[in-house]
Amino acid sequence: MSYRQAAEILSKEVGKKIDYVNISDEDARKAMNGMGMEERFIDGMMELYNIIIAGHLSQTTNTVEQIIGRKPIPFEQFARDNVKTFN
């Protein structure tokens, strides 16, 4: 699922438009720095984000099911269950 797809699902479930805005690495670093995050944490977040964007974590596994002992819920259900969080 892409960030854009997640925003579309959230929009539908919450009942208001939620957009995914792709910002530059530089702007993301500035924003995290402005929130007081440590540089090493920012570096880790940026590395993870770039790994995700490159598609290296796009495979589907059954790890969640093995750990929690049941099938995970779809993102749509997560959005419905947490709609108050997004309003």
How many whole angstroms from its chain centre is CA 63?
Answer: 18
Full domain range(s) for residue 58: 3-86
Give the CATH number for residue 58.
3.90.25.10
State residue 73's pLDDT score: 93
- Pull the structure tokens for residue 55: 């598609």
Question: Are residues 13 and 80 in contact, defined by beta-carbon separation less than 8 angstroms?
Answer: yes
Which residue do the tokens 């440590």 mark? 38
How many whole angstroms from its chain centre is CA 3?
Answer: 6
Lowest mean pLDDT across 12-16, 30-34, 39-43: 12-16
Which residue do the tokens 């924003």 mark? 31
Write the DSSP symbol of residue 40: H
Q: What's the domain count of the chain?
A: 1
State residue 70's pLDDT score: 95
The pLDDT tens digits of the residues spanning 42-71 come to 999 999 999 988 989 888 899 999 999 999
